[in-house]
Every structure is written in structure tokens, then in C-alpha cells.
Structure 1
Amino acid sequence: MNLCVTALLFYMFQLIHGQPDYLGFISIDCGIEVNSTYQDSVSNMIYVSDYSFVTTGENHGISSDYVKPSLVKRYLNLRFFPHGARNCYTLRSLVMGNKYLVRAAFYYGNYDGLGKPPVFDLYLGTNYWHEVSLSDAGAFNWMDIIVVAPDDYLQVCLVNKGMGNPFISGLDLRPMKNTLYPEVNATQSLVLVNSNRFHMGPTDGSVIRYPSDSHDRIWTTYNAIPNCIQISATSVIQNNLRDVYDVPSSVMQNAVTANSSRIDFSWNPSDPSVNISSKYFFIFYFAELQTVGSNAVRQFDIIINSKTWNKQPYTPTFQVTDYFSGILHGMENYSVSLVATKNATLPPILNAMEMYLVKPITAVATDPGDARAMMAIQDDFGVIKNWMGDPCIPKASIWRGLNCSYPPVGASKITALNLSSFGLVGAISTNFRDLQALQYLDLSHNNLSGPIPNFLGQLSSLMFLDLSSNDLSGPIPYSLLQRSQNGSLSLRVGDNVNLCGNGTACRSDRKKINGTLLTAIVVPIAAAIALFVILFLLCQVLKGKAKRNATGHEDESALLENREFSYKELKHITNNFSQQIGKGGFGPVFLGYLENGKSVAVKVRSESSSQGGKEFLAEAQHLTRIHHKNLVSLVGYCKDRNHLALVYEYMPEGNLQDHLRATSTSKPLSWEQRLQIALDAAQVLSICTSPVSQH
């Protein structure tokens, strides 16, 4: 008992989560409560809500005026779609290349109180299935399509054509043996319209379906043959060895015959879409149910619209199913006659029949790999928008944010994705890697987190990638940086506070990236050093020019706007020049401390220095007017008789030159450090090449 309960729970769990059951069946009651299930009392099949199959639409019950005791449960409610031109169900976990029967059922029941059933179109994937039109509010309609799955999923789409909101009551999928219905292939499907699958049993409206029919085909009673006589049998009716339709015995155990030598009836497709280019495929089934004496002969011809289909008189086999099939061109009405031959002593017999509309598969869908990737991305991020059905086809219903290629031959491929401000949350989906034709990808202004995956740099067609304004972290993959540097990829990663450079590890105190373009992020150390050399030489030239332009008649103290120190004060603040921290062409540099505790560097002219008083004043004047974080600021000077000195703000980590020199001996710099050095060098260069009076 416990084992049975466990099996049932597992069976229902699969269905709730959108998976076929152990038979491969999917049975959906559209419009029931989310994640609810129930077992049908007749077929014992488990019906589930459509929650896992569709992301749009609203549930509604039918009008109480149309609720009757005989009404099956799945018709008490429905899902309708007041928004969007196309709304689609996705049936997953199929086997690509296998055959499936898909059934859509409709019962309007005046759910909206308008008393006017809507008219809309039904599509299977990108291919037109049929128009849905109900004669009145209490009419039922269901239609089957037998198709080869082009992928591991099928999509049923309801398309609004401006004649009321599309709705659906039920949706079923049944696997079929690939040997059945050989007329169905990758280029052609069969559509059953208006329940045109009949058995010849009692005219009480009885229906034969699963479990009698293992494929759950629905066989209804045909009662339009005038003056017919019903016969039946209780023995099992076998299928012959060449049978490709697998008709259940319960269907073949009933038949009609006549009191005369012929059975005549007409068949009306009742299909407004029929025209001369349409094709119908018919199958008539025969099996002898009565024991025929040695002198009795049942023999007849099969005639449709005056054409005899059998090459020689036909005699059904006792308790074995046989059939005749063929293709008819579209007409409004077909006359069918089964006519006994001259040698016959018994009237004709007919057990069952099917009539299908032949549907060529003409629309080329989106590349299967791209379509699967987009559906997986949709699942990863829970995107709704208009993301349903085929991503690219038709053009009028292309998914929001997508651009696709439409080649004259072959499938469409996705070339661009603009998902900026889509509300995406979590890690960047690994399914983007399967979009091999992608040229443009914008994921900016979302809530993406985690690292930037390496595979983005391996998308060979990608030319633009915007990951800015997210919460991404860790290093930027080298492949992206390399492509950004060589100009093959425009890369944006700004406003990701936890991103850092192209290293194997990131410092915990890494700075936020402020740039939006990475084409100039990686500046080689050699270029930074070259910039420094250039700016240093330019500064020297400008200092010489300033010296030559000096008149020498101005008050030297007026040129210096900072504090003037006496030599005695310098001895005091440097503790009698006790701690030398450097040496240059001007002279030694000593560490000192002002009265407020601020550290300074005191540069004292040595007796061997070639620099005189005017050169000293020119340098001091220039430094008092320049302010930059990587150029030391002048605090003051000393011109006490022969003692010349400059007092600078002390920089514990060195100036720009120190940073550049350090690159030859320290560990490799991160791209952030390289960028900052390059920016500083460029700014200092700008300062040094501008007139002194502007700084």
C-alpha cells in the first residue's frame, strides 16, 4: 500500500512540474488552481494545472448557466488571454524526431458574459494549426494534430486576431509509435478538425478513448449513415501485420451494414479554410464481424466522388483489421459509397474512419540551439515580457530585446540581446554561451552578481558587451580584456563596485571602476614611463623659459607666496638635519616636522650644486602655483644668506616618479594601478604644458 502511494505521489509530482508521466502523457486542465491535480473518474488519468506550462493569461470559470451534471470537470474552467497578440504553452521533455499527438480543447460556456464566442488562430510552434471558431456559447470543440517533434519541446500558441480574447480549456500530449501514421513526417502533419474520427457503435454518444485506445485518440459515434444496420462482436479484433494505425479492438468490434447492396453517405469537412489547394487524408477501416457461410460472399468497391479506390473487389478479413486510405483534394463535400459487386451475396460493411487535413510544415523556426538557449535563459531569470513561442518567428512576435538574422535559406539566429533594465537577478546564465551568432549583448542596469564568466570572451561573433551597473565581482576575464585592448570588442563594466583587474586574486580594498569603456584600461608600464619622461623634459624646458623671461627687477620675496623659513628654523624642524631621506642634483633631502606635527621634506642646496639663486627662485615660483596629488606641494622656502632650501609636503609613498621607478622592482601592478598611473601622468603632462600663470 505504501509503495502504491509513493508511486502515485511521484507520478503527480512529475506532472505538477511540467514533466510527462510514466506513459509520456501530459494532461492539462487549463484554468484550475495553481499546482492542483485530480484524477479523472473515467480514464483514471491525472490532470494538472497549466502553471508550469504558460506564464500569461488569467483563470476563469464558465457561467453557471452552462454547468451541467454531464459536463466533464475540465470544461468547468478555462484560461483566457486578454493581453498580448500571442500566448503560448510549452510542452517539454520530449524526444526530438518522435511522433506526438497534441490535442487542444475549447468550451466557451459564456465565461465572460458576452454571449459571443471569440474567433482566434491556433499555432503549433511557428506553423499554423487551425482557426478556433465555436458555433455558439454551449458548443464544444477539440482538435488533434499528429506531428514529428522538431526539438525536445513543442509549443502551442493562441493568436489574437481581433475577434475576442483567445481561451483554452484543456491541452493534451500523447506519444505515438514512430511507425504509426507514416504520412506524418518532418515536412507534413495531420490535423483532425471537428472530431472527424468515428466508430460505428451505438448512437448513444459513447466515446472510446484511453485506456481502450493506448494513444488516447478520441473516437466518437458516427450516426449520419441513413438506413444503416448495426452489427457487433465480442471477440478481440486483431491488427494485421502491415497495420500502421493501431486501431483498438473496441473500435473495430462495431460496424454498420445495410439492407441493400450499398452504403451511401456524404461527409462535410465543415472547415471554412478548405480550398482547392487543401488536401484531406482519409482512412476507412474494415473487419468482418460475422461468420460467413461457404456460399455467402461479402465483396464491394470503395467509391469517393465517383472514383473507385480499390483496384479489385474488396473482401474484409474475419476479425482482423484492414484499411484503405488516400489523399483527396479540398472540397466542400464528399460523397462516399460502398457498393456490393455482382458476385456479392452480403451488403458492404464499415467499422470506423478518420479524416485529416494535411498540413505542410513550411515555416522555418529559429535555430534549435538558439531557441533552447533563450528558453533556458528565460527559466534562469524568470523573464515574462512577451517571451513565449518561437523567439524570432514570426517577425511581428519577436521576443522583446532580441534581434535576429533572417537568411533566405536556413534558420534564423539571434544576433543581438538588449536586456538592459530587465530586472535580471543572480549569476550570468551559462546558457548565453550557446548563442554563437550573438554580436551585441547588453546586460546593464540589472542585479547580476557573481563573477564575469570566461565563456563571454569566447563568443567569437560578440562585438559589444555591456555589463555596467550590476553587482558583479572578481577579476575581469583576461580573454575579455585582451579583446577589448585589441579593438575587437567594445566592453563596458562601469558601476560594479566589486570588480577588479585581470589577476588571479583581487584585493579586499579594491576600488570601484568608474570608466564605462575598457578600451583604454590596460596601459603598459612602458607607456607610462615614456609619458613621465616626456612631461619631465617639458617641465624642464618650461622652467628654463620662465627663467629667461624673468626681469630680475621684481622683489624676489613677492614671487614666493609660501612660508619663509630661517636656517635656524630648518635646523630645529629637522633635528639638526639628522634623518636624510633622499638626495638629488640640488642637494640632500631631510625629514622634518612642523609645529603642528605635519611631516615635511626639506631639500637643502649643497655647496656642489650648480643651481644659483635665480634658478632656485624659478623652481620655487613654479611649484607654488602647481597643485596635483602626484606632484609634491611646496610648503615654504629658506633664503638665509648663503643657505637655500625648499620645504615640501612629505609623501611617504613617493611621488609619480617613485611609483614609476617601483614598477621595475615590485610585483606586477593591477590594471587599476596602471590606469591610475597613466591618468596621473596625463594630468601632470597637461599641467606642465600649460602656461605657468594658469596653475
Structure 2
Amino acid sequence: MALNCFWVTLFLFFGFLGVVFCEQDGFLSLSCGGARTYVDSSNITWFSDDTYINTGNITTINYVEDSGTYSSNVPLRFFPESQRRNCYKLPVENTSSMVLVRAQFMYKNYDRHWKPPAFLVSLGTAITSTVNLTNKDPWIEEFIWPVSKATLSFCLNAIPSSGSPVISSLEVRPLPRGAYRSGMGGFSNKSLRKRYRINSGYTNGSLRYPADPFDRIWDADRSYTPAHLSPAFHIPLGLNLSSLKESPPLDVLQTARVLARDDFLHYNLPLDTFGDYYIVLYFADILPVSASFDILINGVVQQSNFTITTSETITLYFTQKQITSLDIAFRRIRFYPQISAFEVYEIVDIPPEASSTTVSALQVIEQSTGFDLGWQDDPCLPTPWNHIECEGSTVTSLDLSDTNLRSISPTFGDLLDLKILDLHNTSLSGAIENLDSLQYLEKLNLSFNQLTSFGSDLDSLVNLKILDLHNNSLQGIVPASLGELENLHLLNLENNKLQGTLPPSLNRESLEVRTLGNLCLSFSTMACNEASSNETPKVTVITNRKHT
């Protein structure tokens, strides 16, 4: 799925001009909520998103452009009352090493409630942005993502009490191999969120496909504070672009903002998020002089006495850590500082995924419950699955209470990092088993089942603090090995069929032992001899509830 392009070189008296022709191989353009395939004015083919997502409802709105001169019916997909991830599975196999992902979110009061939603957007395991359609509607987000798997999960994550996530379009575009990696040595395994992509010196609207074969949108230059005090130039000079990894369009490099009447040329750029940023500057000397100038970012010289010669093209890369605003400036040394284009990206961390063993185990366990628990992709990130809690990318808590689990399968033993396991009221019977590998387990709730035997696995749970076994059918005596669990401070054995003397090792000040409702349980042999062997245990009944 690589972008197929070929160059035609036209030799003219003043140099050469490269013209690129491309097919849309690798383009994926989804009309979210749309029902038909169509071709837009840029000759890009759009498809329904039905194949790529299985949740959400669809509707259509009449959208009027800000200018008021054009209106169209725009389909939307929205996700009502959803607290889980709503994910698109985007194919990126055999694309380049980096892809551009662009999404448009639109509310426009489609539900007539006048309550624009806010929600989180994630790619893979990373929360990449927060969309708040109260602030801007429509809202466009664009990301550059390093490809590592055959599919990429693009998810809309609901924020409680903030409305239903909604999306109108979603695009994937392959990027040149090796692009947007230079200068990122200290930032491994990162994604980029676009903040600015400016075609300096060009003021007549934005530029995109087919001028840019990778369909990046280059926004028009405008007067950023402080004023440029400089003119715009467009000179169709032949340029050699082969050394530029990002392959910017020739049309972009043939324009420039040039300093004319001052010592500084500024781009003062507001940033909406405190964080780390990646900056790409493009230079093409389209004037018949060799200019020299300093490049400053937030007042600090990043490149001194930078020189570019006629017809030369150069890309420079910079990173800025922990900033809230950005001022890119060019200070004159000799002749006229000039800039052809620039891009600014917020650097977004990509957290590690949960282990494949954990994911496989949880998928098997979900099947055994008989319920669709909505478990998709990574269990921990960007937000934990329902019934699961995590520490970073590690699953530490699992609550499957009130499901018809019937047994603790060996798969539970693969969840090695669990600290909390709640399987109360899950129709378990027989012996407690398949838990001996859970060395970090601190709280185990197996109450309200039909368990009849302690088994031997509990002996291995050396970090166990709370063991809740009340309202089962446990019979016989309490094993002395439970007293060897030094961290145990609550043992609930109420309402079982246990009898006999409790092990002396359980009789310690740091441990609370609850025994009501058994035939006879005591630390005193005499107390049990005096008790009636026909005493009926107290039983609490709990019914299965539908699991969601």
C-alpha cells in the first residue's frame, strides 16, 4: 500500500522542473455514518465506515460553511451513552513506516439538545487529544503515527457526563519513508499531533492533494503576532527535492516569507497544551542571493549564521521541551532571511502495551463468561477495560463478579501481576484451584459460590491480605497452612459447613477471623465439643445479576 508516484522532468532554460503524478494507493478515506461510495472534487474516493467499526448510531446534518455560500448533507456517527472505547480498526499493513491519520468531528446540534460533547481521542495505547466541540465545531485533529502492527486502533473514548462522542470523517495517508524522524533522537516511540503546517508566503487558501501527493494540508500564511514586516514571494524556480525526507510539495517550496524592512522575522504561535514539541523548518532559496541569518526559538539561538544558496533546499529539525508558547524568529546577518514552510507538532508518548500473555488470557476468560464485555485491543491503555484496573500497562485487578463462570480455569494462572481478584457469585464449585501462580495477589473474593474444598493453591499466595470465602459450602477443617500466610489480616469463613478447631497459627492479633454460621469453628476444642452437631449454618442468598 505504498504511494505510487513517478516524476516527469521538464528541462527549461532556467533549470529543471519536477512534476509528480500519483495514484491513491494507500489512501483510506472514510465517511463516518455514510452509506455510499463517492469521489470528491480532489478525485479522492470516499467509502462508508461500516466495515471498520461495529458500534455507534448514524445520522445526517445539513452543514453550512462559515462563509454561508455552500451547504451539504454531512453524515455523522455518534456513540450514545457509551462509557467504553469506540474503536475503528484501520488497516496500515504494507504502508510506509509512518502514516498520517486525520479526523473531523462535528456536532452542529444534530440531536437538538444544544449540548456539544467533549471526549478523548486515542491511537493505539496513547491518548492523543481531547476534543471539546463547545470550543470549536467542527474540530479537526491530525496525527503522525509510527506503524508497528497490521492494524491501528483509532478510538473515541467517552468522558462521563460530557455527552456522546461523534465523528464525521476519518482519513489515513502513507508518508515518505524516514519522514518526521530526524532530530527525534531523545524521543523514541512517540507519535506527533499536528499544531501548525504553514505554507509561508502563500495567502490564497490551503494546499493539499494532488499538489501534495501525501495529502498533507498546508495552511495559508497569515499575520502572526508580531507582524512579519515582510513580503511574500512566489518564484517558480527549479529545485532539487531529493534530499528532503519529508518530500514537501514543490509548490510549497516555491513560495517564501522574506524579511525586508527589519532585523527580525517572527512567527509567534499560540500552543494549547503544555508539553514537548517537534519543529520542522523548510528553506528553499528562490532569490538570487545567498542569505545568512540566525534561527531563534523562544529567544534562544538554535542555529547561528545559517546560510542558504540560490536553488538550494534544506530542512532543519528542532525539539522544545516543556513549553506553552512558541516564537520562531529569523535574525538578519546578510541579505534577506527567508522561510518557505514549517510544521509544528506536539510530541505524544506511546505507552507500552500489556503483555501478549495477559491479553490472550483475558480473551479466553471473556469467552468463558458468556458475555461480550466490550474488551477490545489493549486491556489497560488508553483507558482500562470494564472490570479491570491497571498500573501502567500491567493488569492488577479483575472483577468478574455476578457472571456464570462455573470454574477457575488454568488461564487465570497467566495473570501473574494480579493484586485483586473478585469472583464472588460466579457459580464456582469444587476445590479452589489454578491460582497458585498469583504470587502478588493481595485480595481474593470467592464468596457466594458453591466451593466445597480449600484445595492447596492458597498456600502459595504469600502476599494475600484479604481472603473472603463466606457463603460457600466448604466442609471439614480449616487447613493449618492458611496460618502461614503472614500478610493475611482478614479471613472470612462465615456461612460454610466447616467444623473443628481452628489452627493456632490463625490466632494472632493482626488477623481477624470471621466464623459465624458454621457447624462449629473455634480455637478451643472444648467449645466445639459442647456445641450441637446439628446446628444449621446461617445462609445469605444472592441472585445472579445480568452482567454488562
TM-score when normalising by structure 2: 0.61
Residue in 1 that maps onto 2:89: 90
Residue in 2 that maps onto 1:264: 265
Selected match of 2:345 from 334, 356, 365: 356
Residue in 2 that maps onto 1:40: 40
Distance 1:25 1:375 in 2: 32
CA 1:68–1:361: 2 relative to 1, 3 Å = same
CA 1:71–1:52: 2 relative to 1, 3 Å = farther
Partner SS, residue 51 of structure 2: coil
Query: Higher relative contact order by CA 8 Å / sep ≥ 6: 1 or 2?
Result: 2
Distance 1:416 1:176 in 2: 42
Residue in 2 that maps onto 1:155: 153
Asked if the contact 2:284–2:313 (Cα under 8 Å) also holds between the matched residues in 1, the reply is yes
* Number of aligned residues: 392
Structure holding more strand per residue: 2
**What amino acid is aligned across from residue 28 of structure 1 in structure 2?**
L
Partner SS, residue 52 of structure 1: helix
**How do 1:616-627 residues align onto structure 2 when only pairs under 5 Å count?**
none
Partner SS, residue 223 of structure 1: coil
Distance 1:368 1:332 in 2: 38
**How do 1:85-484 residues align onto structure 2 when only pairs under 5 Å count?**
85=83, 86-92=85-91, 94-95=93-94, 98-134=97-133, 136=135, 139-161=137-159, 162-182=161-181, 183=184, 187-193=189-195, 196-205=196-205, 207-225=206-224, 226=227, 227-241=229-243, 243-271=244-272, 273-274=273-274, 278-292=275-289, 297-311=290-304, 313-341=305-333, 344=334, 346-362=335-351, 364-368=352-356, 385=372, 387=374, 389-394=376-381, 397-398=384-385, 437=414
* Structure 2 residue 98 is matched with structure 1 residue 81: no
Residue in 1 that maps onto 2:29: 27
Asked if the contact 2:364–2:411 (Cα under 8 Å) also holds between the matched residues in 1, the reply is no
Compute the RMSD of aligned alpha carbons: 4.2
Deviation per residue, 1:333-375 (Å, 9 max, x gap): 333321111xx2x32111101111111222x323357758989
Distance 1:96 1:410 in 2: 27
* CA-CA distance at 1:94 after TM superposition: 2.1
* CA-CA distance at 1:71 after TM superposition: 5.6
Distance 1:69 1:421 in 2: 58
* CA-CA distance at 1:118 after TM superposition: 1.9
Which structure has the larger Rg over C-alpha atoms?
1
Percent of aligned positions with the same letter in both sequences?
A: 26
* CA-CA distance at 1:321 after TM superposition: 2.2
CA 1:391–1:417: 2 relative to 1, 3 Å = farther
Asked if the contact 2:117–2:134 (Cα under 8 Å) also holds between the matched residues in 1, the reply is no
* CA-CA distance at 1:279 after TM superposition: 0.9
**What amino acid is aligned across from residue 251 of structure 2 in structure 1?**
S
**Alignment gaps of 5+ in structure 1:** 1-20, 423-431, 443-460, 464-486, 489-695
Asked if the contact 2:259–2:337 (Cα under 8 Å) also holds between the matched residues in 1, the reply is yes
Deviation per residue, 1:434-480 (Å, 9 max, x gap): 9994899x9xxxxxxxxxxxxxxxxxx899xxxxxxxxxxxxxxxxx
CA 1:198–1:308: 2 relative to 1, 3 Å = same
CA 1:64–1:220: 2 relative to 1, 3 Å = closer
**Alignment gaps of 5+ in structure 2:** 1-22, 424-433, 437-454, 457-548
CA 1:255–1:367: 2 relative to 1, 3 Å = same
Deviation per residue, 1:575-594 (Å, 9 max, x gap): xxxxxxxxxxxxxxxxxxxx
CA 1:234–1:122: 2 relative to 1, 3 Å = same
Asked if the contact 1:213–1:248 (Cα under 8 Å) also holds between the matched residues in 2, the reply is yes
Residue in 2 that maps onto 1:61: 60
Partner SS, residue 338 of structure 2: coil
Distance 1:462 1:90 in 2: 35
CA 1:204–1:178: 2 relative to 1, 3 Å = closer
Deviation per residue, 1:25-72 (Å, 9 max, x gap): 221111212xx2111112x11111111111111112235566977668
Partner SS, residue 101 of structure 1: strand
Q: Is the deviation greater in 390-399 or in 212-221?
A: 390-399
CA 1:27–1:414: 2 relative to 1, 3 Å = farther
**What amino acid is aligned across from residue 393 of structure 1 in structure 2?**
C
TM-score when normalising by structure 1: 0.49
Partner SS, residue 112 of structure 2: coil
